[in-house]
Structure 1
C-alpha cells in the first residue's frame, strides 16, 4: 500500500508536469521527422476498426487508463516481466484491451519513421481516430509526448465503478477537470461496455436507483453469482447505439437505465445533474465538448523534451 505522503508527492509531480508541458506540444511536431505519422495511424485504425468494431471503444478506455496514472506517457502499455511488474498487473487494468492494436500501429510507424514517433503520441492519435470512427467530432492532437520509463502497479488508483461521485469529482479535479468536464468524459460510456462484476451488486442488492426492468434483464444476463473474469459476462453501456458516439447515454441516466452506480449518481448530484440534463437535450453541444475533453485528456501530465524516451516497441522499455 502506497502511503498518503507518497501519493501526495506523486500528485504534486503530476500537476507540475501538467503545468510545465501544457504549452509544449505542437500539432506540427513530426513535420520534419515523420510527416505522414497521422495518416499512418489513421489508415491503420481504419483497417483495425472494420475488422473489429469493438476496438475503438477499447482504445478510448486505454487512453484514459494511461493518462490518469503518471500522465499520458504510455506506461500502461508495458508488459510485466519476471524482473519488473507494470501497471497492466493492477486489477483495474485487467480488462483493458487494444494492446495488440497499439503494437500494430507502432510497427507501421517504425517502418516509415524509425525511432521518431513515441508510443504516447501513437495512443493519443489512435484515441482521436477512434472517436472519429465512432461518429464523434474529429479534433486536433498536439504532439511531442515522450514515453515513460516507469510503470508501477501500485500507482494505479483509478476510481472503482462503485466509488462515490464526490470522490470521483475530487479525483478528476486533481487532474484539472471541472465537474462539467467530468460529466462530459463520463460520456465515453456512450460506447463500449462493462463486465457484470462492475455492477452485479446493484442487481442483487437493489439500491432503488436502477430501472426495475433493466435490473431484471441484467440479472438474467449476469446471474447472481460472482464469476472469474474470463467467464464473467459483459454487456454494453448503451445497448441502443453501442458503437456510436452520441448523447443517448445522458438520456439513459435521466431514465435510471445505466449500469454503474457512479454514472447514475451524476444524474441527481447537485454539481453534475444540470450538466447531465443539458447534454441529454443538446446532442451537438455534447459532440463538441466530448472532443474538447478528449483533447484535454490526451495532454495530462505529458513528458517532453529530453524526459523519458521514444520506445521502439510499445510493450517494453528500450533498455
Structure 2
C-alpha cells in the first residue's frame, strides 16, 4: 500500500471591494486598454481596513473545511503560504488555528512568495506521507495591496488580495494511478533577487517596504522555468502533457499563461484563467483558481491536474495530482 495525500475539499475568499482598471486609471497614469493588453487583468479585490491576511485565510479555510465535510478539530497540521503576514511573528497560521477553534495542532507559515502555495503543498504532503499527520489544511493568502507603491503604475495594477485553501488527507492506496498528489518539484535561484523583491525588512530597513519588479526580465524567466518544471513534474509521475486534463497556473499575467501553454503544446481551454478577475494574488492565486474551477464544475474527481507557480527569489515549482 502507498500513502498518498488526497484533496478532500477546496475553498477561497476575496475581499468585497472590487477595483476596476478604470478606477486605477483615475489615480495613476494608466488606462484600461494598456493594462488589459499587457496583462489581461480587468479587476482586482482589495482588502478593507478591517481585513488582514489571517481573516482572508480563515474565510477560505472555513470554505475548504465545509467542502471536505470534516470537523475542523480533526486537522492536525496547518501550513500557510504568505509574503504578507499579519505580524513578523508569530506565524499567521496560528491566528487561523485560533479562529477555527483548533486548540492544538502544528501550525506554521511558508515564505516563497508566488510559489508559496506549491512549497506549502510539498511540505504538507511530505509530512502526511511520513505518517506524522493525518489531515492538513494548506492555505495561500495575501494582502499585497499593503506593500504596493500606488504611484508605480508598472506594479500597482498587477496585484490583488485574496486567499485559497485545500484540505489534504493521508490515504492508503494500492492504485498507482489513483487520487492524490503524484509528484512535486520545487526550485529556487537567489541570483535573481533584484528582479522581483520588496525593498524593506526587519533586519535591513526596519520597515515593511514596497514591491519592486523588472517586469520584462521576470516574464522571460517565467515562461522558460514554468514550462521546464511542469515537464519535470509530469516526468516524475510517469506522465506527459497529453495526459493532463487541467493546468491551474499562478495567475500573474495572461501572456505568461498563453506562452507557457504553447511551449508545452497544451490547448488554451485546458488552462484555468482567473487573472482577469483577480489579478496576481501571489501565494493565493493557485488555490483561488483551483477552487474557482472546482466550484464551477470544470474540475471533476479523477481529473489529472498540474499546479504551477513562479515568484520572487526566484522560486518556482509544479505539482501533479489526481483530483
Return the TM-score normalized by structure 1.
0.25
For the pair shown, which has the larger CA radius of gyration, 1 or 2? Answer: 1
Return the TM-score normalized by structure 2.
0.25
More helix by share: 1
